[in-house]
Chain A
Amino acid sequence: DAGVIQSPRHEVTEMGQEVTLRCKPISGHNSLFWYRQTMMRGLELLIYFNNNVPIDDSGMPEDRFSAKMPNASFSTLKIQPSEPRDSAVYFCASNQGSTVPNYGYTFGSGTRLTVV
Chain B
Amino acid sequence: KQEVTQIPAALSVPEGENLVLNCSFTDSAIYNLQWFRQDPGKGLTSLLLIQSSQREQTSGRLNASLDKSSGRSTLYIAASQPGDSATYLCAVRGLTGGGNKLTFGTGTQLKVEL
Our verdict on whether A and B bind, yes or no, reads: yes
Chain B: CB-nearest residue to A49: B100
The reply to whether the CB of B61 lies closer than 8 angstroms to some CB of chain A is no
Interface size on B, residues (CB 8 A): 26
Cβ contact within 8 Å between B104 and A110: no
Cβ contact within 8 Å between A48 and B49: no
Cβ contact within 8 Å between A91 and B101: no
How far is B100's CA from A33's CA once the two chains are assembled, in angstroms?
A: 10
How far is B99's CA from A108's CA once the two chains are assembled, in angstroms?
A: 21
The reply to whether the CB of A56 lies closer than 8 angstroms to some CB of chain B is yes
Quote the shortest CB–CB distance from B49 to chain A (angstroms): 4
Interface size on A, residues (CB 8 A): 24
Cβ contact within 8 Å between B42 and A109: yes
The reply to whether the CB of B60 lies closer than 8 angstroms to some CB of chain A is no
Q: A56-B97, A56-B101, A105-B34 are in contact. Are A43 and B46 (CB under 8 A)?
A: no
How far is B32's CA from A15's CA once the two chains are assembled, in angstroms?
A: 40
Quote the shortest CB–CB distance from B43 to chain A (angstroms): 4
The reply to whether the CB of B7 lies closer than 8 angstroms to some CB of chain A is no
Taking CB atoms and an 8 Å cut-off, the chain B residues in 47-82 that contact chain A are: 49, 51
**Chain A residues with CB under 8 A of B104:** 42-43
- Residues of B bordering A, CB below 8 Å: 31-32, 34, 36, 41-46, 49, 51, 89, 91, 93, 97-107
